[in-house]
Amino acid sequence: MMRLRREDPRVVGSFRLHRRLGAGGMGVVYLGSDRRGQRVALKVIRPDLAEDQEFRSRFAREVSAARRIRGGCTARLVAADLEAERPWFATQYVPGPSLHDKVAEEGPLTAAQIASIGAALSEGLVAVHEAGVVHRDLKPSNILLSPKGPRIIDFGIAWATGASTLTHVGTAVGSPGFLAPEQVRGAAVTPATDVFSLGATLAYAATADSPFGHGSSEVMLYRVVHEEPHLQGVPDALAPLVRACLAKDPEERPTTLQLSMRLKEIASREAHGMGEPRPPAQRARTERPTGRLAEGYADQRAERRTGGGVPTPPPQGPGQGQSHGGQGGKAPQSGPHSRPSSPRNTGSRGPGSTAGRTGGRPAPRTTGTGRRPSRPDPKLMRQRLIVFVVVTLIVALGIALAQKL
């Protein structure tokens, strides 16, 4: 806040002015209060605009539309005088820094903070658009972070849905870098126009910069229309949604209701430390053998489930080595679908075969089916041993008692 200057009024309507809150393209904003002590933000229109009858007529329609807005995310209109020498209007005073000042002083916000603020703003825009109003100048400096949540302020250039965005030919209304392409072209504004500005505002909250960089007004407006936004630094959870908001075609942008629901989901997930859900990883195709080796793989899987012995590998064709360590031909070659060989993987292959021998030791004894007999379950053996010992002790104790009797 700044002290009042010598040229500043001290009283406007029924409000006493105390401080300067800021100045913009339409006029100066003051902190004032009424007789009951209610504080307001009161904007007094610039003298040159006050002399423009076209502006006065439009301003009267905008104030009328602002009165219809009902929502907790906007600063409520308290009073206005459209017939004064310098028209003015007063809105509810919202304590707290602007989003612009917050990011400028403390740096980019977290994904959870951005999603939470964005969800509240989207919900507020739903109420604004239901009243038939488009803000047209949504930007970080027009969003106040109050203790009760973010508030949208400065509907000074808001306009009815479908109206042109040009005050005069070739002059766009709004702030470069946050304007929608249709505003730059002078086309009709729609609720999608505010969605674009909200996307640029969320990008600023994440990166402390406009998604279209810096430069003169002409350069910035050209980038908005012809270049893609720079979203490097925007959290992964938010980047796709922000990019959708910044689509050049208004029809491709999400609605404010869709935006509100999606941002609430992201805010909830980020607040609980949960990232974006990922699809289950696909198994590599080489995990299971194909072709002739598939039968042996299936037998091994079935044998492991039943607890039986290890099945023999599928028969090998002529020319494939069967001996280890260079005995009797080429050593077996491993391929992308082969499984490593071991003494347990080899069994009897018929009379006279040396495939089951390793280092001169006899191959493990197998059953008539070519499979090794299953080993007793160690856990079951321990249980049987305990039962045997307990029964033996009981019998011995019974015999001892019988002899005493």
- Asked about 137 being catalytic, the answer comes back as yes
DSSP 361: B
CA-CA distance, 405 to 403, in Å (whole number)?
Answer: 5
Count of CB atoms within 10 A of residue 162's CB?
Answer: 10
Compute the distance between CA of residue 393 and CA of residue 395 in angstroms, rounded to an integer.
5
CB 183 within 8 A of CB 193: yes
Nearest-CA neighbor of 248 among 298, 196, 178?
196
The answer to whether 46 touches 23, Cβ cutoff 8 Å, is no
3-state secondary structure of 383: helix
> Do residues 40 and 34 lie in contact, with contact meaning Cβ atoms separated by under 8 Å?
yes
CB atoms within 10 A of CB 164: 12
Q: How far, in Å, CA of 43 to CA of 59, rounded?
A: 12
- Among the listed residues 48, 101, 137, 154, the single catalytic one is 137
Catalytic residues: 137
